Amino acid sequence: MVNRKGTKLRFIAGEYDVAVIGAGHAGCEAALACAKLGVKTVIFAMNLDSIANMACNPSIGGSAKGQLVREIDALGGAMAKIVDKTAIQIRMLNKGKGPAVQSLRAQIDRRKYQQEMKHVLELTENLDLKQAEIVDIETVEEDGIRRVTHVVTHTGAVYKCKAAIVCTGTFLNGRIIIGDVSYQSGPDGLFPSIRLSDTLRNLGFELIRLKTGTPARVNRRSIDFSNMVPQPGDDEVVPFSFETEVLEIEQVPCWLTHTNIKTKEIILKNIHRSPMYNGTIEGVGPRYCPSLEDKMVRFSDKDRHQVFVEPMGANTEEMYLQGMSSSLPEDVQMEFMRSVEGLENVSVMRPAYAIEYDAIDARVLKLTLESRIVDGLYFAGQINGSSGYEEAAAQGLVAGINCALKLLGKEPLIIDRSEAYIGVLIDDLVTRGTREPYRMMTSASEYRLLLRQDNADERLTEKGYKVGLISEERYAKFKEKYRLVKEELERLSKTHVSPTPSVIEYMEKIGSTPLKSGASLEELLRRPEVEYEDVLKIEELNLKDKGLDYVRRTLPKSVIEQVCINVKYSGYIKLQLQQVEQFRKLEKKLLPEDIDYNEISNLSLEAREKLSKVRPASIGQASRILGVSPADITALYIYLTKRKE
């Protein structure tokens, strides 16, 4: 818009409390949290039809990621509920292992998930959706503090705001690479966000270049499943959301096949044409999700690798070849795909590609995910160096909650490493940074026996309720569940049985050493071979042998699950709780925000540099910074003591 003199006029298109830039999984959770907490919010998407897009694998959950989704749900986020509505297969991974590593994984109807999430956004009060590319974030400096004031779209529309949350995913300066062909693009052929990178640089953010990739999508009709191994869902489905009491879905199978020596030969013969090995790709890719050509080089001793053939939805013939991510030229892709059993006549609908994109060095962020460079500017998702829908959604939720709390004048929500995988994820990114896409793994948590998928509600629902994202009704149900857990644990510890004839006979039947003297039901349940149903049966037989009546207790499955885990793993849980206590002592040793690390003479030069960059909130966080030694931590202790005196 220009006036008669030809001067460009500012078009104020709207006024909001919060502007969310990007409507992927991070942006959706951030916007919903802000709006539900009562702050007026606008969310911008490059294309409204790409909201909550699954540009890579059409699945949610998996090892450690399933824990993240349940934690999002426990805090009041949306992802788990949308998963339960749109899943076409759900499995509990690692069922044969301990509860610390068990994780839910769902195959998703990709388009239905997008539609459901978009509709949730559209129905949410205090939230507006806009299709536009944000190219500028305007700030003003007052009293030495730079604050967010406006965001500007590619068409010149200006939106006034008090805060902004950047959730650009892989769109930021995105570049698609297939062989020797490369072009500016976001995922799935969508427009990239180019100009925002320069804006962030001008604001003082250091950008890093990362890379990810996705396999080809192929037509189901061209696949021979006869020699593939079916991967069915669970007979008894466990929902992702704690609010979903019963979930019945028509399970659609995935399929397993393998690459072979011929596949390997084709790839190694053409490795010089791979952008990863000829210098075309600059960005660093995810170590734990390598491309197929990277697998062939890094694991040269292996002659075959798994390939999972997964449906993209219930109403499409498009299939996803998990395990065959590649940036090789299309002709090579076609050749190596057709060397795999079942894919001999495969018809490719979308070729595999790599995508490079910009991200920030997340060490300039606080644990709230607000930047220390610009007040009111938050970052969440792949722009922070993470990978995965679940990691993005978790960060988006935390950024949205903290952004809203700040505008409302309330204390922030800080989730530490001992409380949730969300805490591990954010602490790792903010404290250590990353030079490759960060993937959440169970091994990243020191307290994974405590951070299980089954008890995410126990760990985080109270926080979600205090923040304002958990309803009174849900909170009451949560409190009742754990009242029953506590009551049953106490009953098992106080109820004793004797070695009566029927009890001895039953214990021999289930392969458990018979009692020689009295024992509590808790002691019996602690035995690996004894299940909860066995304990109830032993209790019944003991009473009947004594001529007493027995009234069987009926408890919800979720309550029984918590009772059994708490009893069977009580020793390990107690040990980890002691470790957490020590951890929290260090977290409570807070470091002043105005501390000048260059004035602490006993610190090493590297420690001064790293501490000045990260600005840790506590001694505990400082101890996790790479390059900060135990001697440096001692120097910080001495400094704090002198400062206090």
- Give yes or no on whether 474-569 and 588-644 have one common fold: no
User: Residues with Cβ < 8 Å from 304, sequence gap 6 or more?
Assistant: 258, 259, 260, 261, 263
Q: Where are the domains of the chain?
A: 12-213+356-468, 217-354, 474-569, 588-644
Which token pair is 378?
A: 């938050």
What is the per-residue burial (b if ≥16 Cβ within 10 Å, else e) of 192-207? Answer: bbbebbebbeebebeb
Cβ atoms < 10 Å from Cβ of 381: 32
Return the top range by mean pLDDT from 131-140, 507-516, 623-632: 131-140
Q: Is the pTM of this model over 0.85?
A: yes
Would you state the torsion angle of the CA atoms of residues 297, 302, 307, 308, taken in this order, to the nearest 10 degrees?
A: -120
Which token pair is 45?
A: 């998407």
Eight-class DSSP state of 15 = E
pLDDT value of position 24: 97
Which residues sit opposite 213 in a β-bridge? 354
Pairing of strands 157-160, 11-15: parallel
Helix (H) or strand (E) holding 620: helix 619-623
Of 264, 286, 268, the C-alpha closest to 213 is: 286
pLDDT value of position 3: 46
pLDDT value of position 298: 86
28 vs 478: CA distance, rounded Å: 25
What is the per-residue burial (b if ≥16 Cβ within 10 Å, else e) of 313-323? Answer: beebbbbbbbb
380 vs 164: CA distance, rounded Å: 11
Q: pLDDT confidence of 287, banded at 50, 70, 90?
A: low
pLDDT value of position 275: 84
CB 392 within 8 A of CB 26: yes
The model's pLDDT over 342-359, given as tens digits with 9 standing for 90+, comes to 999 999 999 999 999 999
Section 590-617 average pLDDT: 91
| Residue 288 clears pLDDT 70, i.e. is over it | no
DSSP helix/strand/coil, 581: helix
User: Which strands sit side by side in the sheet containing 306-311, from one edge to the other?
Assistant: 229-231, 254-258, 306-311, 318-322, 217-219, 348-350
pLDDT value of position 551: 87
pLDDT value of position 223: 98
Which token pair is 595?
A: 């501390």
User: What's the chain's average pLDDT?
Assistant: 94
Q: pLDDT confidence of 284, banded at 50, 70, 90?
A: low
The model's pLDDT over 62-86, given as tens digits with 9 standing for 90+, comes to 999 999 999 999 999 999 999 999 9
211 vs 281: CA distance, rounded Å: 8
Eight-class DSSP state of 265 = H
Question: What amino acid occupies position 209?
Answer: R
| Cα torsion angle, 609, 612, 613, 615, sign | positive
The model's pLDDT over 504-515, given as tens digits with 9 standing for 90+, comes to 999 999 999 999
pLDDT value of position 300: 85
Eight-class DSSP state of 226 = T
| Residue 9 clears pLDDT 90, i.e. is over it | no
Helix (H) or strand (E) holding 178: strand 175-178
φ, ψ of residue 297 in degrees (nearest 5) = -85, -45
**Architecture of the domain spanning 12-213+356-468:** 3-Layer(bba) Sandwich (3.50)
| Residue 280 clears pLDDT 80, i.e. is over it | no
Question: What amino acid occupies position 391?
Answer: E
Q: pLDDT confidence of 593, banded at 50, 70, 90?
A: confident
| Residue 1 clears pLDDT 60, i.e. is over it | no
Pick the CATH number of 217-354 from 3.30.70.330, 1.10.3720.10, 2.40.30.260, 1.10.150.20: 2.40.30.260
pLDDT value of position 2: 47
Angle (CA) 288 289 293, round 5°: 120
φ, ψ of residue 583 in degrees (nearest 5) = -60, -45
328 vs 294: CA distance, rounded Å: 11
pLDDT value of position 479: 98
pLDDT value of position 641: 86
Section 123-135 average pLDDT: 98
194 vs 133: CA distance, rounded Å: 9
Which token pair is 298?
A: 């890094």
pLDDT value of position 276: 76
The model's pLDDT over 366-424, given as tens digits with 9 standing for 90+, comes to 999 999 999 999 999 999 999 999 999 999 999 999 999 999 999 999 999 999 999 99
CB 255 within 8 A of CB 309: yes
578 vs 467: CA distance, rounded Å: 28
Residues above pLDDT 90, as percent of the chain: 86
551 vs 491: CA distance, rounded Å: 14
φ, ψ of residue 310 in degrees (nearest 5) = -125, 135
Least confident window among 252-256, 279-283, 534-538, 606-610 = 279-283
Which token pair is 325?
A: 């991510």
Helix (H) or strand (E) holding 152: strand 145-153
Section 482-489 average pLDDT: 97
Q: pLDDT confidence of 49, banded at 50, 70, 90?
A: very high
Which token pair is 582?
A: 């020590």
CB 463 within 8 A of CB 420: no
326 vs 212: CA distance, rounded Å: 10
Cβ atoms < 10 Å from Cβ of 612: 13
The model's pLDDT over 431-482, given as tens digits with 9 standing for 90+, comes to 999 989 999 999 999 999 999 999 999 999 999 999 999 999 999 999 999 9
The model's pLDDT over 570-587, given as tens digits with 9 standing for 90+, comes to 999 999 999 999 999 999
CB 582 within 8 A of CB 475: no
pLDDT value of position 283: 64
The model's pLDDT over 212-265, given as tens digits with 9 standing for 90+, comes to 989 999 999 999 999 999 999 999 999 999 999 889 899 999 999 999 999 999
288 vs 441: CA distance, rounded Å: 10
> Which pairs count as long-range contacts for 410-415, CB under 8 Å and 24+ apart, including other chains?
412/368, 413/368, 413/463, 413/467, 414/367, 414/368, 414/617, 415/460, 415/463
Q: pLDDT confidence of 428, banded at 50, 70, 90?
A: very high
Of 416, 358, 403, 21, the C-alpha closest to 184 is: 358
Pick the CATH number of 588-644 from 1.10.340.30, 3.40.50.10800, 1.25.40.80, 1.10.150.570: 1.10.150.570
Helix (H) or strand (E) holding 197: helix 195-203
- Cα of 612 vs its chain's centroid, Å: 28
**Spelled out in words, what is the top-level CATH class assigned to the domain 474-569?**
mainly alpha
Which token pair is 136?
A: 């500028």
- Helical spans, DSSP H, in 448-569: 456-467, 472-494, 501-509, 521-525, 532-545, 557-568
534 vs 529: CA distance, rounded Å: 9
CB 102 within 8 A of CB 95: yes
pLDDT value of position 8: 58
- Helical spans, DSSP H, in 10-64: 25-36
